[in-house]
Structure 1
């Protein structure tokens, strides 16, 4: 009985620790391989003193989730060594998360003596800093460590990461590490919501601040460049890109974002060259494979524009080769990251270009059942699936269903506008064939109402009502 009591007391103590085991990190099983790849890539190629300790701790947590507790302990030892080297005057405070993780891993493998050793270390540090809690330190460094962990674990955790960095910055607004974490989180959240109309972008100021406080951090610099490009300040953005490319630090990551910058400028060959260089270093990056696929799609569009969408001879061969390349990169991206919704849409659209409608259908079906963090992504899924139904499968009924679904999800966005326009065009097409098609008249009324054109909306609704009344009258006379 005393064994159970001891175990319960230990568990009660562990729950108080601030570490990866108590932060409720939202990670789906299917995301684990991609998360582990990203963590390993960052350990090797990201030159950031801020992030390194946290990355080793996160790797330990991932190893534990995979049942590899001995490997988890190895990663925690590496984190400890790093703390000794990077923070010699702050080792106690900086070690709290690592000690917490050690205690949890030892608990899971049943080594309670070691659990107690690490609990004692945490308790001693809490006393040293005059903390109110026995095993829990409230300080900005801990908020920041939690913020980094949440940030690394994907979109479901970003809002909570932002709150952690904000809390840390309230205590120490000029801290380079807190500033950098907040800026990266803000950039990611802006990216998530970029397609939503009326979203107030908020990451430009935090990114400028982070670059000022971290002049040597090339990663933050390239994110600032991309945000400046978004805001129409491309010349200033390019200055930061060139600075970052001239520096050897975090090169693999600099290449990724510099490539995105040049792709959006229309310099596809330069973008591809940078992406292929980055891919040599990190061959399992879902992000890189997706970006390479997008560049190939851009090249295909260039060929179509130059040949009026009728490529022949060498142009046709080149287009087919590019389509095959794009498909293979998009396939890799969704294999390694099965929750990569937009990559599925891009892959399905490429299958359509290749004339492989069966694979396009299968791919759309996979993504149609997903539940993304940003609901507005599903607008794009339903819009492109509607297009596929209308133009390739020749099913107007299915097309209407999916345009309507796109319109009823989430906030106003580009994809929602496209769906409303496609819905309107399709309804007009059907009315040309049958002027008394009640459904098409109602749909047009609905589409104009969504656009805010109330006069047209009322006109189509009234026509639909008159038709319905006439048809009811004629039915009545028939009996």
Structure 2
């Protein structure tokens, strides 16, 4: 193929609406975990799997398995013929776009061009409008589902996609479900669930009205009501859904989460054990079981003045077993790593705790709130187990320096302020303490208090450029 025609093909490929043009970056996701999630959905969710096979195909390509990618697209085509026999061209636009890109990457340019032509001629027949995407809301929806699967960085874009899909079909149950899930994930990610009003509750209820069989949505409603201190109302949703889908792992995992957060660990464990029998390889379920045993440990310590050591040891052992299983199955499972590290610390197995924290620091798909959470937990480990105030201070400060608001950042700030104030009260303060306290006051908009702290830091360490610069900037901002 000549360079000119190859460039022309590439230009045509970039005009297609498919997974290859939606900026879904493999560095933002754990591909093995995503593959497992898609496989579970194909197996357990009773609905058309066109979207899942298309996404599975893209994941296969990212894993350098293009022949497997083609097999998944073949399955997507079979689903289209079965579910939309009267709309094959319209429903195949994303699938054909994916075919074109995979053949292009395989250097099978003739086949790639054939699929590009197939899309272009179909569009001419289907639409006279250059803004054809607006006429096919299912393409927006498919993009939205893919974005949700690629994680927190993509939630806002996913929400926007479902909003666009709903402009054309406001009563479509699938589009409403996608929009509600994107809203829920966004809210969960920004840790807004403790607020009195929830923007996602109404969309979730709307999605449930349009599809009463969707027990996954019912479980999310229950969890959201629990966040809003309306757990009794939430439990009714769980109980009704349990009657409808008693064996669906996707529902059961969230039902168990509801009871765990309610403090009913044994009930949660019973549900999780049932789900694990259906989906034995699920990392999410193993992690949730670990959380239940950890919850039982905390309850025991809280309610018993001198808990029997063998009981404590057994609960720690079980927690470690399930957390460790999760990290082995899914090496980029951030929460499982921090939970495992903290449990090793509880067991005074400090070398293993340190090694696990270091593995967590190596995970390359962390969101900013994950990073802040990691600095917070590692700071606690240094303070309470390693008895190193200086290292604790350093890691809490690192969490604060990631200038994005989150629940984890607030925890870093609170822990750091408490530590500094204790040191100053005990007369142990040094220049770093005052400099860090100055940073805290500045972040809180307390500029005059920040100036006083930086002045004390400079008095103790006169040539420190960081303190001098911060003091100078603060004084200028106050005088302006």
What is residue 11 of structure 1 aligned with on the other side?
A: 10
**Unmatched segments (≥5 aa) in structure 2:** 463-480
Distance apart, 1:293 and its partner CA? 1.5
What is residue 474 of structure 1 aligned with on the other side?
A: none
Task: Map residues 161-200 of structure 1 onto 2, 5 A cutoff.
Answer: 161-194=158-191
Query: 2: CA distance between counterparts of 1:14 and 1:457?
Result: 55
**Unmatched segments (≥5 aa) in structure 1:** 470-479
- Give 2:360's match in structure 1, choosing from 367, 378, 382: 367
Query: 2: CA distance between counterparts of 1:161 and 1:183?
Result: 10
Q: Is the 8 A contact 2:28 2:150 kept in 1?
A: no
- Give 1:290's match in structure 2, choosing from 287, 290, 294: 287
1:388-413 CA distance string (max 9 Å, x none): 11221121111121222333333555
Distance apart, 1:433 and its partner CA? 4.5
Q: Is the 8 A contact 1:156 1:373 kept in 2?
A: no
1:189-243 CA distance string (max 9 Å, x none): 1111116987974211111111111122222121122112212222222121112
Q: Is the 8 A contact 1:193 1:374 kept in 2?
A: no
Question: Structure 1 residues 421 and 191 mapped into 2: Cα distance closer, same or farther (>3 Å)?
Answer: closer
Q: Is the 8 A contact 1:123 1:134 kept in 2?
A: no
What is residue 278 of structure 1 aligned with on the other side?
A: 275
Distance apart, 1:449 and its partner CA? 6.6
What is residue 473 of structure 2 aligned with on the other side?
A: none
Question: Structure 1 residues 335 and 239 mapped into 2: Cα distance closer, same or farther (>3 Å)?
Answer: same
Q: CA RMSD in A?
A: 3.2
Q: Is the 8 A contact 2:29 2:365 kept in 1?
A: no
Q: Is the 8 A contact 2:27 2:365 kept in 1?
A: no
Distance apart, 1:298 and its partner CA? 0.3
- Give 1:63's match in structure 2, choosing from 51, 57, 60: 60
Question: Structure 1 residues 55 and 304 mapped into 2: Cα distance closer, same or farther (>3 Å)?
Answer: same
- Give 2:118's match in structure 1, choosing from 113, 116, 121: 121
What is residue 97 of structure 2 aligned with on the other side?
A: 100
State the TM-score, normalizing by the size of structure 2.
Answer: 0.86
What is residue 430 of structure 1 aligned with on the other side?
A: 423
Q: Is the 8 A contact 2:19 2:55 kept in 1?
A: yes
Q: Is the 8 A contact 1:331 1:347 kept in 2?
A: yes
Query: 2: CA distance between counterparts of 1:195 and 1:134?
Result: 36
Query: 1: CA distance between counterparts of 2:440 and 2:113?
Result: 65
1:268-293 CA distance string (max 9 Å, x none): 11111211222222233232222222
SS at 1:434 equivalent = coil
Distance apart, 1:326 and its partner CA? 1.5
Query: 2: CA distance between counterparts of 1:74 and 1:63?
Result: 10
What is residue 309 of structure 2 aligned with on the other side?
A: 316
Task: Map residues 110-259 of structure 1 onto 2, 5 A cutoff.
Answer: 110-132=107-129, 139-194=136-191, 201-248=198-245, 251-259=248-256
Matching of residue 401 in structure 1 with residue 358 in structure 2: no
Matching of residue 341 in structure 1 with residue 334 in structure 2: yes
State the TM-score, normalizing by the size of structure 1.
Answer: 0.86
